[in-house]
Amino acid sequence: MKIGLLCAMKSEFDQLTPYLHITKETDIARTTVLEGDIDGLAVVIAATGICKVNAAITAQLLIDKFDVTHILMVGVAGGMDPRLGVHALAFSERLAQHDVNWQWLRHRPAPVEGFFPGDPMLLGVCKKLAEEGKFLYPAFFGTMVSGEQFIAEEGRKEIIDAWHPLCVDMESAAAAHACMANDIPFLAIRAISDTAETGAQGFEDNEISAADAAASAAAAVLKALAQA
């Protein structure tokens, strides 16, 4: 097993890398890729940059050039379900692109009713850790959506009515699409940085602490995989 780790932003990347033992750095396709391990489990990590195209490009890069067998996307997200407060953890049972007509996505390959799946094995590990109280913050499992805009007020109700997601981000569903096309198991782990109550200011206030919450959860998952 070799895990690819994707983070959109440097703040997310910087919170996750201290958990890893880094042994090699490669600059490829204008991306810095770090290789190493966590408790002996091989990992490869890269910061994708913001938005869906960047996420898909980097996912494909790790698949093609670094032979990863699984991919985790780790970082922050905007809360859409009122149950999730700042720092709450969201795990992707399924993912969708909220700003694309999913029926257009027929070529490579068609998502089932618009959804890309989270990997059952990785979800099982996360649910077991949640049941054992191994995460620092409450854990929720459900739908995530991604699109090419930061969602504050405009468009929030429409997304909730259409998808009923736990959270919204700008990358995860695209990385999931790339993984589905390559038969690579995928899971997104997101911590909430902003909600309807905090507005966009919540992201500014909580970016680092939420990134740390997501990184801590991902590290617990990676250590569990290493021990399996």
What is the arithmetic mean of pLDDT over 220-224? 98
**For 83-135, how does the pLDDT look when each residue is reduced to its tens digit (9 = 90+)?**
999 999 999 999 998 777 666 666 666 667 778 999 999 999 999 999 999 99
CA–CA dist 44, 159 (Å, integer): 33
In angstroms, what is the C-alpha Rg of the chain?
Answer: 16
Domains and CATH numbers, the chain: 2-227 (3.40.50.1580)
pLDDT band at 145 (very low <50, low <70, confident <90, very high): very high
CA–CA dist 168, 80 (Å, integer): 7
Residue 101 has a pLDDT of: 65
Residue 193 has a pLDDT of: 94
Please check the confidence at residue 199 and state whether its pLDDT lies above 70. Answer: yes
CB 77 within 8 A of CB 126: no
Q: Tell me if residue 10 falls in helix, strand or coil.
A: helix
**For 58-82, how does the pLDDT look when each residue is reduced to its tens digit (9 = 90+)?**
999 999 999 999 999 999 999 999 9
Query: Residue 187: which residues within 8 A CB-CB, separation 6 or more?
Result: 70, 71, 72, 73, 91, 92, 118, 119, 122, 123, 126
Residue 228 has a pLDDT of: 85
CA–CA dist 71, 62 (Å, integer): 9
What is the reported pTM?
0.93
CA–CA dist 162, 98 (Å, integer): 8
Please check the confidence at residue 151 and state whether its pLDDT lies above 90. Answer: no
pLDDT band at 227 (very low <50, low <70, confident <90, very high): very high
What is the arithmetic mean of pLDDT over 188-206? 86
Encoded tokens for 32? 């810095």
